A = this chain, B = another copy of it.
């Protein structure tokens, strides 16, 4: 009498789209814009071309229920483009993408762009247009819908044009129900904060009223691109180990460790196998028994001799870039920026960068203003559930730094970059309070708070001097 059945990933996120950030027309408009802009920024960094991103939101004129309407959202970029054979699945299938690797990127789940299109489809029944060139020779234009029940793209049309000026990039145009008046402050704030952490990007936004917002690039210099890395032994588990063993060509344990793991040299591999794992170095990986695999994984987590992961797979903002973005946006009287040394949680390397700004155009809001970023993405929702909020509002003793949060115009900026940001949900809005990350944010905030406190003491001293 109980009916059992399976649902596809697209069906799951269709039924639970609020979990992915598409809970109501205003929030869905914000989420659609940010998911597509983040894809375009990733594509620009991949192509190592300063991104020119153009976003147009126009109202199709039909008033929906209580203030919502149908909008057309168009996002154009000059990034890497999407290879033609992957376009249908990249946009028409949930859990399909190119970001499933150990390298810093905004994209993580293989879900965001597809969700924007899915939401558009279920509210307007219209297909999405994707125009892209990845090789500069041909331009491919697809008209797609999503077969939600089966998590598959439906290609309605596919045209190919020759590419006369070698353009590379991607254009997405989709219709969706939204409510711009409520979404507008968040959308504009998203662009403003993106300009701070991606100052090499030109962002143009035309809103439904035809107003043009331009965020001009402050520099042509692109950040050093992150390099894909291999898994670190501290983060390994039985499943990953079994997959490595299944694909390995290595015929002994030493070369297996050196080939598949991050920074394990011959000496360390031998020491680990003989002293900790107690597995003969000559053993064939494919011949390990199930018990030996479990023993090996446990030994890897215990062994203290592995080198800390390097940060080549990360691409932090850097102190200069971060400072430049903050100064440009808020023109503060004082700024201090610190980059913490690379750290690691569960085998994933991460870097925390913290800044504090005082005065200038920072408003007095009765509390410290917190700006949060992860892998160069601004996080604008669920502040009180984020680890950075916990640090800034619960763990730091501001009095000690001569700061009165209720009176002083202070803003704190926290940027975390990692090969895996521990988001608490697929909506990418807040970060879990992983102990290692919490500790680094706390240390970073204390570093910059110390600088501010010196500045404020000097300021008070100068003021007293003047008054005599």
B-binding residues in A (CB < 8 A):
2-9, 11-12, 14-16, 18-19, 23, 46, 64-65, 80, 83, 86, 89-90, 93, 95-98, 100-101, 109-110, 121-125, 148-149, 237-239, 242-243, 290, 293-294, 298, 301-302, 382, 384-385, 422-426, 432, 434
Whether the Cβ atoms of A294 and B12 lie closer than 8 Å is no
**Nearest B residue (CB) for A124:** B294
**Known interface pairs A3-B101, A12-B9, A80-B2; A238-B123 also in contact (CB < 8 Å):** yes
Complex Cα distance A67/B379, Å?
A: 35
Complex partner residue of A125 from B95, B238, B301, CB under 8 angstroms: B238
Whether the Cβ atoms of A4 and B382 lie closer than 8 Å is no
**Known interface pairs A2-B46, A9-B12, A90-B4; A424-B19 also in contact (CB < 8 Å):** yes
Contacts of A18 in B (CB 8 A): 422, 424, 432
Whether the Cβ atoms of A98 and B2 lie closer than 8 Å is yes
Contacts of A5 in B (CB 8 A): 96, 100
**Known interface pairs A4-B90, A6-B93, A98-B3; A19-B425 also in contact (CB < 8 Å):** yes
Q: Please give the distance in Å from A436's CB to the nearest CB on chain B.
A: 12
Whether the Cβ atoms of A95 and B7 lie closer than 8 Å is yes
Q: A2-B83, A12-B95, A149-B243 are known contacts; what are 20 more A-B pairs with Cβ within 8 Å?
A: A2-B80, A2-B98, A3-B101, A4-B90, A6-B89, A8-B95, A9-B12, A9-B95, A12-B110, A14-B239, A18-B422, A18-B432, A19-B424, A64-B301, A122-B238, A124-B294, A125-B242, A125-B293, A148-B239, A382-B385
Whether the Cβ atoms of B385 and A239 lie closer than 8 Å is no
**Nearest B residue (CB) for A389:** B384
**Known interface pairs A125-B238, A298-B65; A4-B423 also in contact (CB < 8 Å):** no
Complex Cα distance A123/B4, Å?
A: 28
Contacts of A423 in B (CB 8 A): 19
Contacts of A385 in B (CB 8 A): 382, 384-385
Contacts of A2 in B (CB 8 A): 46, 80, 83, 98
Q: Please give the distance in Å from A86's CB to the nearest CB on chain B.
A: 5
Contacts of A7 in B (CB 8 A): 95, 100, 110
Complex Cα distance A399/B293, Å?
A: 61
Complex Cα distance A89/B6, Å?
A: 9
Contacts of A422 in B (CB 8 A): 18, 23
Q: Please give the distance in Å from A316's CB to the nearest CB on chain B.
A: 22
Whether the Cβ atoms of B96 and A4 lie closer than 8 Å is yes
Complex Cα distance A382/B98, Å?
A: 32
Task: List, sorted by A's number, 27 A–B pairs whose CB atoms are closer than 8 Å.
Answer: A2-B46, A2-B98, A3-B98, A4-B96, A5-B96, A5-B100, A6-B89, A6-B96, A9-B9, A11-B95, A12-B95, A16-B109, A16-B426, A18-B432, A19-B423, A19-B424, A19-B426, A23-B434, A64-B298, A65-B301, A65-B302, A121-B239, A122-B237, A122-B238, A123-B238, A125-B290, A384-B384
**Nearest B residue (CB) for A243:** B149
Q: Please give the distance in Å from A402's CB to the nearest CB on chain B.
A: 28
Complex partner residue of A424 from B122, B242, B425, CB under 8 angstroms: B425
